Structure 1
Amino acid sequence: MVKKFKKTFNIGFNSILLAFGLYFFLVQHKIAPGGVTGISLIMANLFTILTVGQWSLLLNITLFILAFFLMGKDFGKKTVLSATIISLAIMFFEKYFPNTILSNDMIINIVFGAGIESYALSCIFFNDASSGGTDIVAAIFNKYFRISLAKSLFAIDFLVVMLAIKEFGIEVALYAVLCVVIQSFGFNYFIQGLGRKIAITVISDFSNEINQMILGKYKRGVTLYKAEGGYSHKKRDIILTVVPFRKYISIKDDILKIDKNAFVFTHSISEVLGEGFTYGVFE
């Protein structure tokens, strides 16, 4: 129950953060960053009867109805939450901060807008949701036409940029292209960072004591490898455990307290699946 609440809270918070980055750094400067927000910005400029946030909400509702019939009723329940919050948050910013400009420097707006958006989106994905919008279109194309998600999303973003050239001019559209590129690199960086853990390997004559310490004090899973020294031919256990980065220093210190001559080496892991991490006993 607590884990479900934390996921829902993270989805909601990062959806608002995503809307903040989109509105204050991109939408306010007519930069169409692809996706539903980019389409909504163009539509709001063409048909002023609705604002960007209202167009976003209308388009997302339409896409979710389409997904319901084409993808099934269980498709993306958490995505509905995220997409709705993003649209409502943009509408809130439009109403209460209509003329707020944080910076007139386009490079600053591109970097911060794309950076905040990619970070928030990676957090939303990390909590098993998405921001909806063109993700739904890509999923439909993937299911019915066997077009990959990456190709579908690229084609949609490319189409949005082409429309932006006509509506806002080539210079602003080029800023939008730069924004999409930064978003892509930023998303990949952040999504790997959020799942990143550290693997600790320990070779020691006190492997039993170190094993008990990791299991008892830190509640982390441990794997023991049977090994033999290449020179001494002495048999011993090699300890392997995978932990969050924040726990590494304290575990390392405790290992060295047990055996100051322990041979310890580590390496980073971008993602871990399984007991203790994604559906764990130890979390």
Structure 2
Amino acid sequence: MTKIKNFTKDFLLINIGLILVGIGICIFKIPNNFATGGVSGLAIIISSFFPRIDVGPMMLIINILLMLVGFLFLGRDFGSKTIYSSFALSGIVWLIQTIFPIKASLTGDLMLELIYSIIFPAVGSAIIFNCNASTGGTDIIAKIISKLTQLDIGKTLLLSDFLIAAGAGAVFGIRIGMYSIIGLIIKAFMIDIVIDGLNVKKLMVIISSKPDEIKNYIVNTINRGATIYKAEGAFTNKQEIVISTVLNRRQAIQLRTFIRSVDHSAFITISNTSEIIGKGFRSIDS
């Protein structure tokens, strides 16, 4: 039952992420020819030579070719989520282009539209990556280059995306090429920021004269676990009970309010953490 629930949750989140990426591509990237890496960037460039083929169908063709090349060079080194995401994104872009065929810039302001062309795909990609998937595409190119050159996968991915952004400059002019390279760099930082934001949790460390009440509240009301240990104060040399627990933002506020209601002298430290692995949080293989 838990597996079905997790699968359904991941499936919904991946599709939300794909829709956000598709909006960014169709409404902001394609009309301005921003090729900030990825299959969408490659498709934008190639579609300029074949005006009768929209970017969506071109992405589908490129993804099929990349999958075939990937199987040839890498074997079955693909996750089912990534295969689904890469083809679903092509279909979403195709559908959006059919329903809302935008051929020109909405505002005429390249910098403004570059920002939005980064925000939507960055947020969408972060959601997809957080579900242990990716949109495929140039990931395959990066893996092949990494296998042939022994370079780190991160460097080869940046290299392949940079070449696509530079290609936009060769096809659409140096101005668009420079915007595309800036967009590529900013997108990389944006994805990391959004992923950290999605995973952020609150680590609470509590020293209180009412440890049993706080422990019972954490376990029975908030339904979270806690670690309890004894410590000695440096000034008082007095033994104290310390409670450590990890909560989401809402639960942290709830617990803080409760602690203040039962012990005004409690000492509480709250810090952000984004890598929580274990029961109740991310599994070790995600």
The match for 2:249 is 245
Instruction: Output the CA distance in 1 between the equivalents of 2:262 and 2:143.
Output: 53
Q: CA deviation at 1:78?
A: 0.2
The match for 2:57 is 54
- The Cα offsets for residues 112-143 of structure 1, whole Å up to 9 and x where unpaired, read as 11011111100000011001110122123334
Q: CA deviation at 1:67?
A: 2.6
Q: CA deviation at 1:71?
A: 3.2
Q: 1:204 aligns with which of 202, 208, 214?
A: 208
TM-score normalised by the chain length of structure 2: 0.92
Q: Is the 8 A contact 1:222 1:241 kept in 2?
A: yes
Instruction: Output the CA distance in 1 between the equivalents of 2:12 and 2:262.
Output: 40
Following superposition of structure 1 onto structure 2, how do residues 134-149 of structure 1 map, counting pairs within 5 Å? 134-149=138-153
Amino acid corresponding to residue 107 of structure 1 in structure 2: M
The match for 1:275 is 279
- The Cα offsets for residues 69-118 of structure 1, whole Å up to 9 and x where unpaired, read as 43343622101111112111111122222236532211111111101111
Q: Which runs of 5+ in 1 are unaligned?
A: none
The match for 1:125 is 129
The match for 1:184 is 188
Instruction: Output the CA distance in 2 between the equivalents of 1:178 and 1:74.
Output: 31
Instruction: Output the CA distance in 1 between the equivalents of 2:199 and 2:143.
Output: 24
Q: Which runs of 5+ in 2 are unaligned?
A: none
Q: CA deviation at 1:203?
A: 0.4
Q: CA deviation at 1:258?
A: 2.3
Q: 2:89 aligns with which of 82, 86, 107?
A: 86
Amino acid corresponding to residue 90 of structure 1 in structure 2: V
Q: Is the 8 A contact 1:12 1:81 kept in 2?
A: no
The match for 1:41 is 44
- The Cα offsets for residues 219-239 of structure 1, whole Å up to 9 and x where unpaired, read as 112011210122322212101
Matched residue SS, 1:236: strand
Matched residue SS, 1:130: coil
Matched, 1:151 2:149: no
Matched residue SS, 2:94: helix
Instruction: Output the CA distance in 1 between the equivalents of 2:212 and 2:74.
Output: 52
Q: CA deviation at 1:144?
A: 4.5
Instruction: Output the CA distance in 2 between the equivalents of 1:83 and 1:184.
Output: 19
Q: 1:234 aligns with which of 232, 235, 238?
A: 238
The match for 1:75 is 78
Q: CA deviation at 1:66?
A: 2.6
Q: CA deviation at 1:146?
A: 2.0
The match for 1:18 is 21
Q: Is the 8 A contact 1:60 1:133 kept in 2?
A: yes
Counterparts in 2 of 1:99 and 1:75: CA distance versus 1, 3 Å:
closer
Matched, 1:164 2:177: no
Instruction: Output the CA distance in 2 between the equivalents of 1:247 and 1:171.
Output: 48
Aligned-pair identity in percent equals 31
Matched residue SS, 1:46: coil
Runs of 4+ more than 4 Å apart:
none
How many residue pairs get aligned? The number is: 280
Matched residue SS, 1:78: helix
Matched, 1:28 2:69: no
Instruction: Output the CA distance in 1 between the equivalents of 2:229 and 2:148.
Output: 47
TM-score normalised by the chain length of structure 1: 0.93
The match for 1:105 is 109
